[in-house]
């Protein structure tokens, strides 16, 4: 009696198990040979972004971060962030900074194994701009950018610019604009300066001007960035008795572009000086002028380029009685490099 009931229970249990197996989507496991369920797991997605900006004094800065994750068919996550900042000293100096990031990720299903697949994307960006505008440092402007992305759906872009105009007319400018997509990076720094000085006494005059600029860039993968820097300074003056004059001017311009796996940099420097004087006792006049300029440009990688140029001029005159003296000097370096 008991044996018959056990056999009946076993038969019912086996039938129920067979019905469960038949009702569930299954496929043979390639490794073990056992049947396994091919029912899709629940899809999941997440996304997050944060951004920040600061401005005040002589600087402006921004940063942003975005990330997204997706697992399984039908799962999509996306996030975007942006920030901007501006500062102005009300006396010819400004700094601007902006950045934006985005990330999108979609999950899926492996067509061979039937397992859920996961996609991730992250993007980070930061930019900053600053200036120095003071009597002992006439001019100077800086800009910096850093962008990093990972994942097919990651994007980041940003820009930074700084400008200075001094009371004596000297100017300085620096800017950067960059982006990155997929797996990539873009980093850069730009700098500019501009100084000028003139002095005179009863019978002599002196003028000096200098300008500097620099930009350095590097990229990888889907990164791209361009930057420029420029500065200009000029001055002129006459002695109190009007017998001596001196003038000078200096200006520079640099630019560079980097894309993909590459780098580019450019720099320039110009000096210009002049002086003149008269001597009423001896009845003599003297004049001297000097100008010097140099530049450098380097690049590495397809689509990268860099250029540098400068201009410097100096002149001076002096005259007393029948004695006169005059002098002048100029320089104009210009270079460029590029790779198709």
Q: Tell the residue number behind the tokens 């010097």, with chain if given.
A: 292
Query: What is the total count of domains within the chain?
Result: 1
Please state the pTM of the whole predicted model.
0.85
Residue 72 is given by DSSP the state S
Q: Of the candidates 176, 255, 191, 266, which has an alpha carbon nearest to the alpha carbon of residue 223?
A: 176
130 falls within a domain: yes
Distance CA 177, CA 159 (A): 4
Residues 6 or more apart whose Cβ sits within 8 Å of residue 126: 61, 62, 63, 64, 99, 145, 146, 147, 158
Full domain range(s) for residue 259: 50-70+120-338
What's the mean pLDDT when you consider all of the chain?
Answer: 90
Distance CA 133, CA 192 (A): 12
174 falls within a domain: yes
34 falls within a domain: no
Q: CA 175: distance to chain centroid?
A: 8
75 falls within a domain: no
287 falls within a domain: yes
Distance CA 284, CA 203 (A): 11
DSSP string computed for 84-147: EEEEE-SSSEEEEEEEEEEEEEE-EE-TTT--EEEEEEEEEEEEEEEE--BTTB---EEEEEEE
Distance CA 44, CA 69 (A): 8
Tokens found for residue 258: 């980097």
259 falls within a domain: yes
83 falls within a domain: no
Residues of the chain with pLDDT under 50: 1-24, 30-40
Question: What radius of gyration, in Å, describes the C-alpha atoms of the chain?
Answer: 34
Tokens found for residue 97: 């900074």
So what's the pLDDT on residue 91?
85
Contact 236, 196 (CB under 8 A): no
Residues 6 or more apart whose Cβ sits within 8 Å of residue 11: none
Classify 4 as helix, strand or coil. helix
106 falls within a domain: no
Distance CA 235, CA 251 (A): 12
């Amino acid at each position: 009696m008991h044996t018959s009931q056990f056999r009946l229970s076993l038969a019912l249990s086996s039938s129920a198990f067979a019905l469960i197996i038949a009702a569930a989507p299954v496929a043979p496991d390639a490794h073990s040979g056992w049947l396994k369920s091919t029912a899709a797991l629940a899809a999941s997605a997440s996304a997050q972004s944060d951004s920040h900006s600061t401005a005040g004094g002589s600087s402006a800065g921004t940063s942003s971060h975005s990330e997204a994750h997706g697992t399984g068919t039908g799962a999509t996550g996306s996030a975007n962030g942006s920030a901007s900042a501006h500062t102005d000293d009300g006396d010819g100096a400004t700094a601007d900074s902006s950045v934006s990031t985005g990330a999108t990720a979609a999950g899926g299903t492996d067509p061979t194994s039937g397992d859920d697949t996961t996609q991730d994307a992250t993007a980070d960006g930061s930019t900053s701009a600053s200036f120095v505008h003071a009597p002992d440092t006439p001019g100077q402007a800086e800009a910096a950018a850093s962008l990093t992305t990972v994942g097919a759906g990651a994007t980041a872009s940003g820009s930074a610019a700084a400008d200075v105009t001094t009371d004596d007319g000297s100017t300085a400018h620096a800017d950067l604009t960059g982006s990155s997509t997929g797996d990539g990076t873009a980093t850069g720094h730009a700098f500019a300066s501009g100084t000028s000085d003139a002095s005179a006494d009863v019978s002599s005059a002196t003028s000096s001007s200098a300008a500097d600029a620099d930009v350095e860039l590097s990229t990888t993968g889907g990164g791209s960035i361009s930057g420029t820097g420029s500065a200009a300074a000029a001055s002129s003056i006459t002695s109190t008795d009007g017998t001596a004059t001196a003038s000078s001017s200096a200006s520079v311009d640099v630019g560079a572009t980097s894309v993909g796996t590459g780098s580019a940099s450019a720099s320039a420097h110009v000096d210009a000086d002049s002086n003149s004087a008269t001597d009423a006792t001896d009845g003599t006049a003297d004049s001297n002028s000097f100008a010097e300029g140099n530049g450098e440009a380097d690049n590495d990688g397809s689509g990268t380029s860099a250029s540098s140029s400068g201009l410097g001029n100096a002149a001076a005159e002096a005259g007393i009685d029948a004695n006169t003296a005059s002098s002048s000097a100029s320089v104009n370096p210009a270079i460029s490099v590029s790779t198709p």
